[in-house]
């Protein structure tokens, strides 16, 4: 019995020391004390073994002892196996900052890092802009009109955007801009995402573009000239980065700039002769100033001894000789302005380089730092905003659409996608909101930008697919009434641009994060590059201590012993403890993958993607918990918070299981699995009860529905385009009364109290009124209500020859019709025509 007590005590002491990463000295003291107790309690062999373990820990763990024999050997091995970091990769690693993502990499996240930066929301000025200007701009746009009638925003919309400063949100007020926070910029784009083209037109100039580059790197002369003109729309910018041979691998830019002398404004000056071919450049067809990335060379050494100067950025006015611009690409689904730019022997003076000659060769750093912020805002905000509209539209439609005598929102098969839409919209909203708040606090979240871009645009694709599914025939029929179809087809754009999701997930989230966010790896590599054995000793043994701690934390947490502190309570506290546990498991698996694969991990993209999935889901769970902690907590939100966290934690655990299934070293995988998943996978998908509750709440007039669709375009003013969300909101306010009348009328019909020929709801209401089953007031209400419902269910139809772009190719199968019938107009259009 004494042997067992000593053994258990030794294990407990070891786990406590490792969980808290107390260091080798604590381990030596702990083993020594328990070893002495072993001798005291008549277990001498265990006591001796523990004393020997203490001696081993001292020799291998105490700095004074290990530095003379162990550290040099480890340093020699590390130099041989450590992956080489290219200059390009180093720039990416050094760009941006590390915050909460680094805590998740540590295996013992400090929640105060996340929670201390409270989200104060928008200023009154910013909120007023979202409420008014964004509503006006949204009301000017109809997806069908933009996509099929004009292939552009209406002229009055362009003028309004310029007049109200939409293109200058990030430009400080001293230059004529709005000077908005990142949170406000995100809120604007979320509201404008009611229309894809509108969101893109506003988003791009405020994201990766000359404006942001000028603010951070431009000369004062460049700022004074361009920023006021960009702010008020006199200049429309674009940025030429990608081309036929440089897409996701933007560092492989083949476009060149040769330093030479040339003529400019009648004088010979030092400049750059450019040759380039760019593709997929948003706003290029209408841009007045082009930001251009190119590879700069100085073969004649006019600037110095370096010939290959590197990637450089310049500003080129539209009319510059040799530059061809104006043609268009046709982006799938949404015809926002996008096109090629070609330059042949374009000479520009040196002062057209962004930041001047001093910033030559700094283009990649400039782009990476701007991308890390822009990727956190533009497309993720579009995804979040789309999710809000999907909640409102899908919830509204499925409540008023009745089949089998019940609203389709009450059918369990429909409730599954409705709940998924609501959850993904909630997750996206929380993730975008709090990451933008980090940016406002001065962070430049590089790894989170990759998480947001890839994960939330994938959510967007799922949400719009689910919304299309529950709408059925309503949204597979294109026309002015279809408020989803064009957005559905354009979703592929968000998936592809600003770093294709496949590449971002497979290479960037973990591939960049493994070095950038890991507490020790970057320090180890820097020690290697600097040949600093003392720095290496600190880093490598800090790394070993962290890994050992993660073994202890992961195992004990999986067995039900919580690790780390959290600021939450109730279910939120349980989910936060799960984040702590999976953070330890993720950090351990990251070390296992790097340790067993070394530099070859770069090529194991499927494994890297799954590691990135774990980090992504833990990051998003954290954002949901922060939103829940700081938010208003409306009725029903607890169910949505639980669904969202359980959904994300299920995905995180599934990714961990797949990592263990696919680690190349099977012996290591078999050894690690009992530590990480000793009881197997334990997180189930959210329950059916949660699904049903959420689906009901977003398809009826509830506080939760109002909360999820706040700051969307919900108004309809005279002269504006039709607003389906506003109409659904109005119908849902009357739905409870309509539902009670449906029951009365349908029961009477089932009992045979109404004529069997009364098949339409309006007919049954009329017959029920005649039979005095409902009042005249109820009858009039039902007639008006059903008229509005039918109008929302109606789809467009067109004249036989209207859809053909080339009328000469029409085959008239039954001869030309005598009369052409126009597409069914909406109520507002009919009223205007009259």
Q: Hey, CA dihedral for 214, 215, 220, 223, is it positive or negative?
A: positive
Measured distance CA(768)–CA(746) in Å, rounded: 9
Q: Which residues contact 150 (CB under 8 A, 6 or more apart)?
A: none
- Identify any residues that bridge with 628 across adjacent strands, giving them in sequence order: none
First CA to last CA distance, the chain: 96
Catalytic residue among 212, 498, 627, 767: 498
Using CA atoms, how far apart are residues 412 and 692, in angstroms rounded to an integer?
7
What are the tokens at 509? 């989230």
Dist. CA 456–CA 434, nearest whole Å:
14
Closest CA to 298 of 270, 269, 257, 259: 259
φ, ψ at 34 (rounded to 5°): -70, -35
Whats the size of the chain, residue-wise?
834
In 3D space, the residue among 135, 60, 111, 156 whose CA is nearest the CA of residue 565 turns out to be 111
d(CA 431, CA 548) in angstroms, rounded, equals 31
Residues 6+ apart with CB under 8 A from 378: 189, 203, 204, 206, 207, 498
Question: Is 605 marked active-site?
Answer: no
Q: State how far the Cα of 724 lies from the Cα of 704, in Å rounded to an integer.
A: 19
Give dist(CA 380, CA 643) in Å, integer: 21
How many CB atoms sit inside 10 A of residue 173's CB? Answer: 12
Q: Can you tell me the distance from the alpha carbon of 99 to that of 212, in angstroms, rounded to the nearest whole number?
A: 22
Report d(CA 569, CA 738) in Å as an integer.
Answer: 41
**Coil/strand/helix, residue 313:** strand
Neighbours of 26 (CB within 10 A): 17
Dihedral angle of Cα 199, 202, 203, 206, to the nearest 10 degrees = -170
Distance between CA atoms of 652 and 614, rounded to whole angstroms? Answer: 5
Rounded CA gap, 548 and 60, in Å?
Answer: 14
The secondary structure of residue 445, as a DSSP letter, is: B
Paired residues of 403 in beta bridges: 406
Nearest to 134 by CA among 165, 170, 172: 165
What residues are labeled active site?
498
């Amino acid at each position: 019995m004494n042997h067992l007590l000593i053994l258990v005590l030794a294990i407990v002491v070891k786990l406590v020391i490792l969980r808290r990463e107390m260091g080798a000295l604590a381990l030596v003291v702990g083993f020594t004390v328990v070893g002495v107790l072993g001798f005291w309690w008549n277990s001498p062999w265990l006591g001796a073994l523990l004393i020997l373990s203490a001696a081993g820990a001292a020799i291998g763990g105490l700095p004074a002892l290990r530095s003379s024999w162990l550290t040099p050997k480890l340093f020699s091995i590390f130099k041989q196996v450590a992956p080489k970091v290219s200059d390009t990769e180093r720039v990416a690693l050094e760009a941006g900052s590390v915050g909460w993502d680094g805590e998740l990499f540590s295996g013992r996240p400090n929640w105060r890092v996340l929670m201390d930066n409270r989200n104060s929301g928008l200023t009154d000025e910013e909120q007023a802009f979202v409420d008014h200007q964004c509503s006006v701009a949204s009301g000017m746009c109809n997806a069908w009109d933009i996509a099929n009638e004009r292939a552009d925003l209406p002229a009055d919309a362009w003028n309004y955007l310029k007049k109200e400063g939409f293109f200058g949100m990030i430009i400080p007020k001293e230059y004529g801009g709005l000077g908005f926070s990142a949170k406000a910029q995100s809120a604007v784009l979320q509201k404008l995402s009611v229309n894809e083209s509108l969101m893109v037109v506003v988003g791009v100039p405020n994201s990766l573009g000359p404006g942001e580059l000028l603010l951070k790197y431009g000369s004062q002369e460049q700022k004074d000239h361009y920023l006021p003109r960009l702010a008020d729309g006199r200049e429309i910018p674009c940025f030429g980065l990608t081309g036929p041979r440089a897409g996701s691998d933007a560092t492989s830019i083949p476009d060149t700039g040769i330093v030479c002398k040339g003529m400019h404004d009648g004088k010979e000056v030092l400049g750059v002769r450019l040759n380039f071919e760019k593709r997929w450049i948003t706003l290029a067809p209408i841009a007045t100033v082009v930001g251009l990335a190119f590879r700069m060379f100085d073969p004649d050494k006019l600037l110095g001894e370096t010939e290959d100067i590197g990637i450089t950025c310049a500003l080129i006015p539209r009319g510059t000789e040799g530059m061809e611009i104006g043609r268009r690409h046709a982006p799938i689904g949404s015809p926002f302005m996008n096109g090629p730019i070609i330059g042949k022997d374009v000479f520009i003076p040196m002062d057209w380089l962004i930041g001047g000659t001093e910033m030559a060769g700094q283009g990649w750093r400039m782009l990476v730092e701007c991308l890390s912020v822009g990727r956190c805002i533009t497309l993720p905000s579009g995804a979040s905003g789309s999710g809000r509209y999907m909640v409102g539209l899908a919830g509204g439609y499925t409540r008023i659409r009745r089949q089998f005598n019940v609203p389709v929102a009450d059918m369990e098969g429909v409730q599954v996608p409705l709940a998924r839409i609501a959850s993904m919209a909630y997750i996206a909203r929380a993730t975008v909101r709090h990451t933008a708040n980090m940016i406002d606090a001065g962070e430049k979240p590089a790894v989170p930008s990759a998480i947001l871009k890839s994960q939330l645009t994938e959510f967007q694709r799922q949400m719009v697919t689910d919304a299309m599914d529950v709408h059925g025939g309503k949204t597979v029929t294109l026309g002015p009434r279809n408020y989803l179809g064009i957005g559905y087809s354009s979703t592929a754009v968000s998936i592809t641009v600003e770093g294709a999701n496949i590449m971002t997930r497979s290479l960037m989230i973990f591939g960049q994060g493994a070095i950038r966010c890991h507490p020790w790896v970057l320090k180890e590599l820097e020690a290697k590059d600097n040949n600093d054995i003392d720095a290496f000793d600190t880093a490598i043994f800090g790394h070993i201590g962290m890994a050992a701690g993660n073994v202890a934390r992961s195992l004990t947490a999986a067995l039900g012993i919580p690790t780390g502190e959290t600021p939450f309570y109730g279910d939120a506290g349980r989910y936060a403890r799960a984040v702590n546990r999976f953070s330890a498991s993720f950090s351990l698996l990251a070390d296992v993958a790097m340790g067993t694969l070394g530099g070859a991990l770069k090529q194991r993209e499927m494994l890297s993607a799954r590691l990135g999935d774990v980090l992504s889901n833990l990051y998003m769970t954290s954002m949901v918990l922060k939103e829940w902690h700081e938010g208003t907590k409306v009725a029903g939100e607890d169910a949505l918070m639980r669904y969202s966290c359980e959904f994300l934690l299920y995905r995180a655990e599934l990714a961990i299981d797949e990592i263990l299934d696919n680690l190349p070293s099977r012996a290591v995988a078999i050894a690690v699995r009992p530590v990480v998943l000793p009881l197997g996978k334990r997180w189930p998908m959210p329950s059916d009860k949660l699904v049903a509750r959420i689906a009901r709440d977003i398809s009826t007039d509830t506080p939760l529905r109002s909360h999820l669709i706040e700051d969307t375009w919900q108004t309809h003013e005279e002269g504006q385009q039709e607003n389906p969300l506003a109409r659904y909101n109005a119908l849902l306010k009357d739905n409870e009364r309509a539902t009670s009348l449906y029951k009365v009328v349908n029961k009477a019909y089932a009992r045979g109290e109404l004529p069997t020929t009364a098949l339409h709801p309006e007919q049954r209401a009329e017959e029920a009124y005649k039979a005095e089953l409902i009042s005249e007031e109820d009858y009039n209400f039902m007639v008006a209500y059903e008229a509005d419902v039918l109008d929302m269910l109606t789809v467009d139809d067109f004249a036989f020859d209207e859809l053909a772009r080339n009328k000469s190719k029409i085959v008239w199968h039954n001869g030309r019709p005598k009369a052409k019938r126009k597409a069914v107009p909406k109520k507002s259009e009919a009223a205007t025509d009259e």
